[in-house]
Amino acid sequence: MTPKVDEWPGNGAASPTGTRHGCAAAGAGSSRARFRPEIEGLRALAALLVVVYHVWIGRVSGGVDVFFVLTGFLALGQLLRATERGGIDLLAHWGRTLRRLVPAAAVVLVGTVAACLLVLPQTRWSQTIVEVVASASFMENWKLAADSVDYYASHDTASVVQHFWSLSIQGQFAVLFPLMLLGAIALGRRCGWTSRRAIAGAVALAAALSFAFSVWLTAADQQLAYFHSLTRVWEFMLGALLALVIDRITLPLAARVVVGWVGVVGLVACGLVLDVEGGFPGYLAAWPVACAMAVLVAGTTGRRLAADRTLNAPLMQYLGRVSFPLYLWHWPVLLVTLHLAGREEPGLLLGVVIIAVSLALAVATGRWVEEPVQRFSGGRGGRSREYRVAALFLAPVLVAALCWQGLATTQGRTVGAVGDPDHPGAAVHMAGYVERGLPDAEPLPPAVRAAEDWVYYQDMGDGCSEVPTHPDLSLCSVVPQPRPDAPTVAVVGDSNMSQFLGAVIPVARERGWRLEALLKSSCPFSTVSELAPHDEGCVRWNQLAIDYLATTTPDAVVAQATLDVHAGLTERSTPEMVEAWDRLSDAGIPMLAVRGTPRFDEAPATCSDRNGRDSPACDVPRTAFYPSDPPVLLDTPSSVSVLDLADLVCEPAVCRPEVGRVSVYLDERHLTATFAASLAPVVSPALEELLS
């Protein structure tokens, strides 16, 4: 498994072209900046580690933390010197940031869009389009956090632009950091503090609060913590604090040599020594942060055996100058190459090719994009030029994304109607089925729209609202105008049941039933939290749902009968699930328990999109998922009827991505709304029997 991209060699206050003024970084106490070549070398080392780790090793290298430290170190020095010259010019500062970050990023995004149109499976188009826009607007980290992205996912499912998450945090820092300094200076004047003292206090406080928050959130929700902007603030702040005091740190020459090597060796060893999966950022991020600070403290010693001798070598200096575009290019090049080669891992030779291509693109981007932009943006009128340049480069990204979205939305109908003869779905596995449609009809939903085929029950009927008698419980009324004497059917459970709701809605509408939904993601109906044992929110939800149902006594309840239908016969039904059913049985409520559907390692629609609709490579033996008898516990209450979907989602021998010219799954485990609707003819008699 290879982690999602975790490092960005941001240039902080430095020019991505590597000009000497761009790498200027004296301590904040210096009135003039001076060139520090070891920073360029450190940037090159971190970038190389990022690329090597992503291509071959598959672990977090800690490079992002190094670059966040460098950004804080360089930015504080630059901004404090600006205050000494008369004040911080926010528009000029932001303009320089846009000039540094946008041109190369925009070129890579446009190139990535073009490559994805040619090679990326259509099932991944919609999500990638959204992420391209998020990346261009410096919001990709929040998009990944909202989607609960697992950065240790395989190359097959990783996003081609997810490495822009760290660039997004960099952009956010560039906007907010000078505002924080201005606020600190203004507050410090009221207290009679010098600007330096006020800034030091604000930076130290921000570092302490962010570090505490990072440790807490990493333990509570590591996936959110990894992409959350506030869990990274302390890394920028420690770099800024070092800039404030570095001119006061005096070490013997021999000690500086040792400290430099400790930093370099520690950085190289970080990803090898620390098994940081599930533990980053948190306190583990202090390792690469400390390594970066050690190299900065050591500085340039000029000694032949010192680490800075290697960092200052011409090759490392050149790699440092192209490290930003190298980082931006290597990840999409890696994923596109693996897709074209049909491989999950590159191996030695292909990995070398990937790095070589990425480096060539980085050199070209530096020479023909970044360097001309630096020349054009300088001189008189530089501020307005910088904003015009940024707009000029961002426009093609947005146009490309809009055109791609337009192409995606023209790929046929999104969903089919119940009873559509060209798209019968599960009906082909029902008794008495007679083919009346076109056997070569394109599947619904089309591959490009499959991942969007959710059941949007919240927009139906009277919508969703909190239950007054049961706080924290949300109830959705789905059928808009039920009969006055209509029975009430309640569907309860997790997101899989929300998709199965698509099979109940047509039946309830046709008969005028009152249909309610009590649904919570990752929370199957039980007396405990089945999928996350320590999820107290799920336990609370289930308790409230059971109490509400027992109090209101609907005429029937629909819930999930089995969980975890993975390959390897892992399907299960737990005593706690049956305990919840018993509670309903005691209240006189009959229940329809729906057998779970298979969960795949890869979205079946993605497999068929890549290999072809009829490719046997996407077929999985049915016996891998389903035993001959459903594992529903023997002491199931007599009021519970089990609806077995195995014969409807699978053929007798295999489970396929497509049934009756309908895509069965929108991702690895959820039914499409179109296929769920095709189950209505089976659900109807099962519910009729319960209600009779």
Q: Are 586 and 620 a contacting pair, CB within 8 Å? A: no
Q: Are 667 and 615 in contact (CB under 8 A)?
A: no
Cα–Cα distance, 144 to 140 (Å, whole number): 6
Share of the chain above pLDDT 90, in %: 64
Residue 5's pLDDT band, with cuts at 50, 70 and 90, is: very low
The more confident residue out of 677 and 451 is 677
> How does pLDDT run across 36-89, given as a tens digit for each residue?
899 999 999 999 999 999 999 877 788 889 999 999 999 999 998 888 888 889
List, for residues 500-526, the tens digit of each pLDDT value.
Answer: 999 999 999 999 999 999 999 899 999
**Omega before residue 281 within 30° of 0, cis:** yes
Q: How confident is the model at residue 276 (pLDDT cuts 50, 70, 90)?
A: low
Do 104 and 324 form a contact (C-beta atoms < 8 A)? yes
Question: What DSSP line would sit under 364-383, residue for residue?
Answer: HHIIIIIHHHHHHH-STTHH
Quote the tokens at residue 184: 């600190």
Reported as a single tens digit per residue, the pLDDT across 350-365 is: 999 999 999 999 999 9
Least confident of 140-149, 152-161, 477-486: 152-161
Residue of 125 and 394 predicted with greater confidence: 394
Q: Residue 20 pLDDT > 50, yes or no?
A: no
Q: Which residues contact 588 (CB under 8 A, 6 or more apart)?
A: 553, 639
Give the model's pLDDT for residue 459: 61
pLDDT for 32? 58
Predicted confidence (pLDDT) per residue in 376-406, tens digit: 765 555 568 889 999 999 999 999 999 988 8
For 112-143, give one letter per residue: b (16+ CB within 10 A) or e: bbebbeeebbbbbbbebbbbbbbbbebbbbbb
Q: Residue 52 corresponds to which tokens in the numbers above?
A: 């090597």
Phi, psi of 300, rounded to the nearest 5 degrees: -100, 115
- What is the pLDDT at residue 443? 87
Q: Could you give the 3-state DSSP secondary structure of residue 556? A: strand
Q: What is the pLDDT of residue 634?
A: 64
> How far is residue 384 CA from its own chain's centroid?
34
Q: Convert the pLDDT of each residue in 206-219 to its tens digit.
A: 999 999 999 999 98
pLDDT tens-digit profile of 90-107?
998 999 999 999 999 999
**Which of the residue ranges 323-332, 448-457, 505-514 would you say has the lowest mean pLDDT?**
448-457
Radius of gyration of the chain (CA): 29
Q: Please state, for a pLDDT cut of 70, what percent of the chain lies above it.
A: 90
> For residue 408, what are the contacts with CB-CB under 8 A and spacing of at least 6?
122, 125, 126, 129, 448, 449
Q: Tell which residue, 330, 319, 320, has the closest CA to residue 355.
A: 330
pLDDT digits (tens, 9 = 90+) for 589-603: 999 999 999 999 888
- What band does 127 get if pLDDT is binned at 50, 70 and 90? confident
For residue 656, the model assigns a pLDDT of 94
> What is the average pLDDT score of the chain?
88
Q: Considering the chain, tell me which residue range(s) the CATH 3.40.50 domain(s) occupy.
A: 425-691
**d(C-alpha 58, C-alpha 152), whole Å:** 8
pLDDT score of 535: 84
What secondary structure does DSSP assign to 44-91, as a single string?
HHHHHHHHHIIIII-S---HHHHHHHHHHHHHHHHHHHHHHTT---HH
* Residues 6+ away with beta carbon under 8 Å from 315: none
pLDDT at res. 29: 53
pLDDT at 652 over 60: yes
CATH code of domain 425-691: 3.40.50
* pLDDT range class, residue 1, cuts 50, 70, 90: very low
- What pLDDT is attached to residue 462? 65
Which one-letter DSSP state was computed for residue 567?
A: T
Please state the rounded mean pLDDT for residues 184-205.
93
Q: Work out the pLDDT band at 334, boundaries 50, 70, 90.
A: very high
pLDDT band at residue 151, thresholds of 50, 70 and 90? low
3-state helix, strand, coil in the chain (%, to 5): 60, 10, 35
What are the backbone angles phi and psi of residue 474, rounded to the nearest 5°? -100, 130
Amino acid 17: pLDDT: 35
- Read off the tokens for 347: 């191996």
pLDDT of residue 477: 87
Tell how strand 640-643 and strand 591-594 pair up: parallel
Could you give the angle at the alpha carbon of 621 between the alpha carbons of 620 and 623, nearest 5°? 135
Q: Give me the mean pLDDT over the 634-647 stretch.
A: 88
Q: What is the greatest pairwise CA distance in the chain?
A: 91
- What is the model's pLDDT at position 8? 37
**Phi-psi sector, 380: left (phi>0), alpha (psi -120 to 50), beta:** beta
Comparing 271 with 687, the larger pLDDT belongs to 687
* Most confident range, picked from 239-243, 423-427, 607-611: 239-243
Residue range 248-272: average pLDDT? Answer: 93
40-54, 297-311, 455-469: the lowest-pLDDT one: 455-469
pTM for this predicted structure? 0.79
Region for residue 544 given its phi and psi (left: phi exceeds 0; alpha: psi -120 to 50; beta: otherwise): alpha
Encoded tokens for 546: 């059971």
